[in-house]
Copies of this chain bind each other. A is one copy, B any other.
């Protein structure tokens, strides 16, 4: 079956921050659309994979971007030997067959993309395929989930009020120190002590946000650093390669970060 490739086969590792698992469960029980808000690399994608596994539903993820149109979501006519045949897009597949559809960074997409989800996110729960003259009533298992990074949006690129008001929303952030240590230790396969040291470095870097850095080091960066260390690279070199050089090109900010690392090591 087509949906099989979208099933999560193993329980993804996910450490809850607060009550997001309970709230998401209640929203899904109502098939209420949900918006995940939070900075990059803090675990939104992992959370939705975990919930899809927990609820036993297939998950179709679409990474949205500036050039994405409604047709990329909904489907299009393709020319075949027997003429044009309709090809369902990922959203239509989810709507028809009953998957959770996760639109990652929806605000990046072109506006027609956000409008296409309106009739799916109120009591109608329908998807009109105007180019095909078909009106699909959503499968009873279907749910729409979107992500949204509040720090990025400009005035031009924001969700319209009439879109926002259709979603229940959950806030995400970096986990607290002990939780993040647990995540890094597990994901990078390193000792908790070393993971804790990396978390302290990250927390220092997050205080530099707005003072030379656009964003502090994410949990993902710490996992990368831990993995290089696991290959025999020294802590300083590993942090230089996975944190300092990727985060900034400014010499002063780099030195500040290096001081933080030396002090922590």
Contact = CB atoms under 8 A, between A and B. Distances in A.
Interface of A: 2, 5-6, 19, 22-23, 26-27, 29-30, 32, 35, 37, 40-41, 45, 61-70, 72, 77-84, 87-90, 93, 104-105, 108, 110-112, 114-116, 118-119, 122-124, 128, 130-131, 133-135, 149-150, 152, 160-162, 164-171, 187, 214-215, 217-218, 220-221, 224, 227-228, 231-233, 237, 241-242, 245-247, 249
Contact of A166 (B87, B133, B220): B220
A26 B225 CA distance: 11
Contacts of A231: 26, 29-30
A171 B246 CA distance: 9
Contact of A169 (B5, B19, B108, B245): B245
Nearest to A69: B67
A220 B33 CA distance: 12
Given A67-B111, A108-B115, A122-B220, A62 B128 contact: yes
Nearest to A37: B245
Contact of A167 (B72, B128, B160, B246): B246
A78 B84 contact: yes
Contact of A130 (B30, B62, B108): B62
B162 A41 contact: yes
A165 B41 contact: yes
